[in-house]
Amino acid sequence: MVKVYYEDAVVENALEGKTIAVVGYGSQGHAHAQNLRDNGHQVIIGIREGKSAEAAREDGFDVFEVSEAAKQAEVIMILAPDEIQGSLYEKEIAPNLEAGNSLVFAHGFNIHFDVITPPADVDVFLVAPKGPGHLVRRTFADGFAVPALFAVYQDATGKAKETALSYAQGIGATRVGVLETTFKEETETDLFGEQAVLCGGLTSLIEAGFETLVEAGYQPELAYFEVCHEMKLIIDLIYEGGFAKMRDSISNTAEYGDYVSGPRVITEVAKANMKEVLTDIQNGTFANNFVKDNENGFPEFKKMRAERAGHQIEAVGAELRKMMPFVKTID
C-alpha cells in the first residue's frame, strides 16, 4: 500500500541554509519558487532572458543564467520542458554541480529514460505536485495545498529523502499528503495517464462523439454542447466525489445509459490498445520517438498539432465560448 507523508514526517528542515535554484519560471516554476520563498527558503531563478525572466524579476526574484544559478545553488530544481532538459543539463548544469548537491525534478522522464545521467556524488529526487502550477500556487496562498509524489533515485548524501520531504513541505504539499513512489512508476503512470485517458483518450473520445453527431445530421453547435462543453460538469462531480457522486447527481436516464452504453464504446479492444500504449511507454518507444522528433525540430509534433487545431470542433467551440463570458481561461 502506498505510503503517505504529512507535516510531522519532516523532522528537520534539510533545506535550511541552502540556496534553491528553480530552473524555469513557467506554470510549475513560478509556483514552486513563490511557495518556497513564502516558507522562508532562499530561492533564485535560472532562466534565459525573455518574458519569463522579466516576470520573475517583477515578482522579486534574483534572476541568473542557468549556469550561474546552478553554480550558486545547493539544490537545483529543473522545471524546464522535458524536451530541452537534456541539452540544458549537459551545457549549463552538469559543469556546475558539486558533490553533495541535490538535482531535483518534477517528472522522472529524463532520468528514467537515460537522457540525463547524473554524477554519483549528488542526490537525485523528484517532487511532483499532482496539479497545474496555478493551482499549486493558489491553494498554497489559501492555506491549503495540492498533493504531490516524491521519489529518490540516488542518495549520495544519505539525506536525500529528508531533503525531498523538506522540499515537498516548502511548496506546501505535506499539508495534504505526499505519496512515495519511484522514478519508474511516476514516469510510466504519468505518461500513460496523459496519453490514454486525460489528454489523448479524452480529446479523441470527444472528437469521435462530435463527428458521430455531426455526420448523423445534427447541428455542430448542439454536438459541441453535448460532448464537450458539459464534460467539465461531469469531471467536476467526479473530482469532488468520485463516480458515485457523479452518478448520484445525473438523471436516472443518464445513469442507465452510462451502464449500458459506456462498455460498448470502451470495449476490450480499447483496453488492449491501452496496453499497447503502456508497452510503448515502458520499453522506451514513446520516449525515443519524442526525443528524436525534438532533435529534428519537431516536424511530426507540429504536423499533428496543426491537424488537430484545424478540427471543426475547435472552430465551433471558439464561437460558442463568445456567448459564455463566465468561461475563464487559465494562465
Per-state percent for the chain, helix, strand, coil, to nearest 5: 60, 10, 30
Is 226 marked as a binding-site residue? yes
Is 300 annotated among the ligand-binding residues?
A: no
CA quadruple 107, 109, 110, 111: dihedral sign: positive
Q: Is 52 annotated as a binding residue?
A: yes
Residue 133 marked as a ligand binder: yes
- Residue written as grid cell 532562466: 47
DSSP, residue by residue, 199-254: THHHHHHHHHHHHHHHHTT--HHHHHIIIIITHHHHHHHHHHHHHHHHHHHS-HHH
> What is the set of active-site residues?
107
Q: Is 25 annotated as a binding residue?
A: yes
194 in a known ligand binding site: yes
Backbone torsions φ then ψ of 235, nearest 5 degrees: -65, -40
Q: Is 249 annotated as a binding residue?
A: no
* CA distance linking residue 167 with residue 150, whole number of Å: 10
- Residues contacting residue 305 through CB under 8 Å, at least 6 positions apart: none
Please indicate if the annotation marks 48 as binding a ligand. yes
Three-state secondary-structure class, residue 127: strand
Annotated binding-site residue? 26: yes
Residue 28 annotated as part of some ligand binding site: yes
Question: Which segments are annotated as binding site for NADP(+)?
Answer: 25-28, 48, 52, 133
Question: Which segments are annotated as binding site for substrate?
Answer: 251
Question: Which segments are annotated as binding site?
Answer: 25-28, 48, 52, 133, 190, 194, 226, 230, 251
